[in-house]
Chains A and B, each alone.
Chain A
Amino acid sequence: MTDNNRMVALEIVKQLKAEKLISDKEINLESKIANGIIRESDWKLIFEQQIRDTEKQTKNETE
């Protein structure tokens, strides 16, 4: 992993979390992106998790 990939990966994850596109609890994503080992299925799981978390949060707030 070069420094460039690591730096950009950190910034990407920061922005994805800020935009609530992925969960704040997501760990090791920076490393997966920086090492180029994240796969299509991983991305899907991450987004599905975030959708579930958002729905859960909305439900809790409503209650």
Chain B
Amino acid sequence: MKLSSLHINAFRGATKPITLNFSQDKNISLIYAENGNGKSSIADALVCLCTDGAGSLDDKSNKDYSFLKSLGANNSDLLVELETDTQTYKATLSANSNKIIKVPSNDLPKLKALRRAQITSFIEDTPSARYKVLSSFIDLSNIQKSEAELKKLIASLDRELGQNGKSLSDAKNTLTEIWNKEGNPMGNLNDWVQSEIKKDNSKLSKELQENISVLQSWSSLQTVVSSIKAEIAKYGIAKNNFSESEKQFKEYQLKNPNAESDLLSVLNEAKKFLIAKVEVDRCPVCEKDNEKQQLLQNVDGRIAKMQELNKLTQLINSAKTERDKLYNRLQGQIEPFNLQLIGFKTSAIKLSDFDFTDILSKILETNVTKDNYKAFNDAYLPLNVEIEKLSKHNQTVNKSVVLHNSIKSNYQSIVKLTNKCSEIDNLLKQATSSLEILEDTRKKFIDSELLSISGDVETMYQEIHPNEGLGNVKLFLNHTYQSSLNLSANFHTKSDITPQSVYSESHLDTLGLCIFIALAKKESNKDVILVLDDVVMSVDERHLDRIVSLIHTEAKNFAHVLISTHYRPWRERYRNNRAPNFNIQFLELRGWTMERGITIAKPQLVLDEIKYYLSSPEFFHRENLSGATGRFLEAILDFLTFNFQSRLKRKPGNDYTLSELLDCLSKELLKVLKVHKMSLLIEGKYCNNNFDDEVYLKPVIDEVKNLKAIRNQVGAHFTFDGALVSDNDIENFAKSTIKLAELLICPENGTLPDRNKSGSYWETKSGSIRLFPLLEP
């Protein structure tokens, strides 16, 4: 996979649309920018698109994904679009939920991003935090999900076993309590329980049911009898009331022998008759003409004269009605009473242990007789005695039945719960053993992965820190704790020390970098995009060169390596051919503002800048050309004098002048200082033995020596002498410098011959240029 372009809009610092076109023949991109110019926005855009993370936002405590969009932008404005040689991938922000939507949602490019905060976290944090960082590289998240589900099952089974175990214990305790209460029969609980559950309880249960039936029937009978008694009492009162009113009536008749009660009756009937008729014109008795009102007046008058008799007549009539009504009601109780009584008798006489048969012998089995009530009342007392005896007996029977049932149900519960506990226990054992296998297999895999990268880490670390007595880095899981990753390394004569305790900050940084590159490499089948977002802080130039070299060496294992840095020496190493600048795409971000967003400025290599001023008379610029040439010449001479350990006066900051650098190359060295341009083979490699050209450097160094004053006179200061320097001399100064540079610079990757593999000369990484001698004679 090759990256073609990355388009970003409304994402973090990209307030305006920006497109970064990737060079198709270079798989390393270096983005240099001072802080705040948007380099992390570009790295974060790739992280957001290709992973579940949000880049540098993940390092913040408040991970609000709404911060992904640029200030003032809408969710719908956000777009990250990566075009590769095979497919285009897009990420947008959902309108309402701040969720990143990716198209396609699966099979996104593999990307591993490393930020400085992660290095610090990885090296200095707790083993568990370190493990978390590692998890993104050795992804076993699905295995861990499966483990989590198994753990949930174990917890559920454990709970279930506890609950069932408690119920089992309760049932056992209940049985023991019963046994104790019963006075520990048979001297052994189990024997007693076994004998109890073997007993046939059906007879006792039947007896209990029969007894209960009789007692319930007796209770119902009592209700009916109570009702009858109440009715009898009411009837008695009504009967007395009638007798009393009859007596009063007779006494009135004795006192008033002429009182014609029959006449009163006729008059009352006549009044009723007259009231009922609409019109009357004659007396209904004597048939004399008379009006209705007149007739009524006459009847009322006569009744009024018989008022007391009338009152007594009404009283006797109502008392009679009440008596007769209550009598009829009492008659209606006969049948229900008999039914209840016969039912009681039928069930009671079945109980042969009691005297119900004799006592109830006079009870007739017919529903209509009144005699049974009397017979019942006569037998009530002995009946009540028997019922009390039955009730007491039944309590004993009931206790026996309840006890037997309790023993049986508790015993059945114990059997059932014992089986259930055994089943759960078996499942729990299976699940626990399985979990051990899951965890153990996962940890072993991680251990093996860690072991497999340890060689790579060691090689990389030694490349950055050769002969420093450091290394033998080991990463291993601490199996005592869950998800815990430990780190050990050598420190001079001590082995297996914790590097955090003795390594310097920059050594720890480079250690973290090596581990991450090794982990990312492990996962890459040349298909991982490696993003190194500002991972290198202040390191000295030797270590910087080695880090750069390491990244260039390892880049072949990745689809693309995107480096962002604010470390200016890194930029200058590339600009001045002190790093392999031919193999990288070099970009610079400059001058971010809210209105302008991220601005990509293509940085020029200094050599290209010099050539540009020389390429056409209209581009010629005396001062700029002199200045650029002088600085570039210093970079080349810095390399030569360092390689040959030329003698220079010690100065703070090593800020040597061009003259000092030129003059310290000894005569002896210049006599033998030469390069071999090695022959290029068909397969693209350089020949080990044959060279196309042998060039001594002294002539070209002499040329620049003769013109060295131009750098100060024209390129650095305002002097009268500078104005006298001809354009031609300035051009020659620049051309000689280019000649010297092109003799030394590798045509393949733009580096200088800084490697000593042979032990007898310096050579470029590709083997294209050899520089002689190895040491100053």
Q: Which residues of A contact B (CB under 8 A)?
A: 1-2, 4-5, 7-9, 11-12, 15-16, 19, 21-22, 32-36, 38-40, 42-44, 47-48, 50-51
Contacts and interface: CB of A to CB of B under 8 A. Distances in A.
Would you call the interface of chain A mostly helix, strand, loop, or mixed?
helix
Contacts of A51: 423, 426-427, 430
A53 to B, nearest CB: 12
Interface string B406-450: 000000000000000001001100110110011001100100010
Given A7-B445, A11-B445, A12-B438, A40 B152 contact: yes
Given A7-B445, A36-B145, A40-B156, A19 B437 contact: yes
Across the A-B interface, the 6 shortest Cβ-Cβ residue pairs: A36-B142, A36-B145, A47-B430, A5-B142, A40-B152, A33-B146
Nearest to B110: A2
Interface stretch (B22-30, B133-141, B296-304): B133-141
B441 A43 contact: no
B138 A4 contact: yes
A9 B143 contact: yes
Interface size class of chain B, counting residues whose CB lies under 8 Å from the partner chain: 20 to 34
A50 B426 CA distance: 11
Nearest to B440: A15
B434 A21 contact: yes
B153 A5 contact: no
Nearest to B431: A47
B161 to A, nearest CB: 13
B149 A39 contact: yes
A11 to B, nearest CB: 5
Interface of B: 138-146, 149-150, 152-153, 156, 423, 426-427, 430-431, 433-434, 437-438, 441-442, 445, 449
16 contacts: A1-B142, A2-B139, A4-B449, A5-B139, A8-B140, A12-B437, A12-B441, A16-B434, A16-B437, A21-B433, A34-B143, A36-B143, A36-B145, A40-B150, A47-B434, A50-B430
B434 A4 contact: no
A15 B153 contact: no
B431 A33 contact: no
Contact of B441 (A8, A47, A50): A8
Contact of B142 (A19, A33, A43, A47): A33
B111 to A, nearest CB: 14
Contacts of B423: 51
A43 B437 contact: no
B386 to A, nearest CB: 60
A43 B153 contact: yes
Contacts of B431: 43, 47
Among A9, A22, A34, max chain B CB count under 10 A is at A9
A44 B142 contact: no
Contacts of B144: 36
A7 B437 CA distance: 14
Nearest to B145: A36
A48 B424 CA distance: 10
Given A1-B142, A8-B442, A40 B437 contact: no
Nearest to B438: A12
Contact of A36 (B146, B153, B430, B438): B146
Among B138, B146, B153, B431, max chain A CB count under 10 A is at B146
Given A38-B149, A40-B156, A43-B150, A8 B434 contact: no
A21 B152 CA distance: 18
Among A8, A33, A51, max chain B CB count under 10 A is at A8
Given A8-B441, A51-B427, A44 B143 contact: no
Contacts of A2: 139, 142
A12 B146 CA distance: 11
Contact of B445 (A1, A8, A47): A8
Contacts of B139: 2, 4-5
A8 B150 CA distance: 16
A44 B427 contact: yes
A34 B153 CA distance: 18
Contacts of B140: 4-5, 8
Contacts of B153: 40, 43-44
A4 B144 CA distance: 12
Nearest to A9: B143
B142 A35 contact: yes
Nearest to B139: A2
Given A5-B141, A21-B430, A43-B434, 18 more contacts: A2-B139, A5-B140, A5-B142, A8-B441, A9-B142, A11-B441, A12-B143, A15-B441, A19-B433, A21-B433, A33-B143, A33-B146, A36-B141, A36-B144, A40-B153, A42-B149, A43-B153, A51-B430
